[in-house]
């Protein structure tokens, strides 16, 4: 019997794709880039600069009011002239999770009501 190579998807939450501005810092520099997808557990950021996996960052999601989260870069891939970084959110409290869910719902309706 033949076996196929499959990449395991360890995500615990479903992600919504869409472009959404995010500001983040690695403690040395501030960056303003765009999320490519988001869930209550993490996000994928498209950036002009790559951070090393394991780098702890602080993110501020552009919402009203802004949502501030801690995260850790889990992976980095080059895509053309930019990089994609997978970020896992850390220590998300119930208020932050509710705010992320509101952002996801807003992105969903803005994307699909057109």
Report yes or no on 93 lying in a domain: yes
Give the CATH number, domain containing residue 70: 2.40.10.220
Domain that holds residue 80: 16-112
Its pTM stands at: 0.78
Report yes or no on 3 lying in a domain: no
Report yes or no on 8 lying in a domain: no
Q: What is the pLDDT of residue 14?
A: 58
Report yes or no on 23 lying in a domain: yes
For residue 10, name the pLDDT band (cuts at 50, 70, 90).
very low
Full 3-state SS string of the chain:
CCCCCCCCCCCCCCCEEEEEEEEEECCCCEEEEEEEEECCCEEEEEECCCCCCCCEEEEEECCCCCEEEEEEEEEEEEECCEEEEEEEEECCCHHHHHHHHHHHHHHHHHHHCC
Q: What is the pLDDT of residue 49?
A: 93
Model confidence pLDDT, tens digit, residues 29-71: 999 999 998 898 999 999 999 999 999 999 998 777 888 999 9
Model confidence pLDDT, tens digit, residues 71-95: 999 999 999 999 999 999 999 999 9
* Tally of structural domains, the chain: 1
């Amino acid at each position: 019997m033949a076996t196929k190579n499959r990449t395991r998807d360890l995500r615990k939450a479903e992600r919504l794709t869409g472009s959404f501005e995010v500001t983040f810092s690695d403690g040395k520099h501030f960056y303003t880039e765009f999320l490519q997808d988001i869930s209550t557990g993490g996000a994928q950021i498209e950036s002009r600069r790559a951070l090393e996996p394991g780098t702890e960052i602080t993110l501020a999601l552009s919402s009203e009011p802004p949502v501030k989260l801690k995260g850790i870069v889990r992976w980095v891939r080059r895509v053309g002239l930019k990089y994609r970084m997978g970020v896992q959110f850390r220590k998300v409290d119930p208020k932050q999770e509710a705010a992320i869910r509101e952002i996801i719902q807003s992105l969903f309706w803005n994307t699909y009501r057109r």
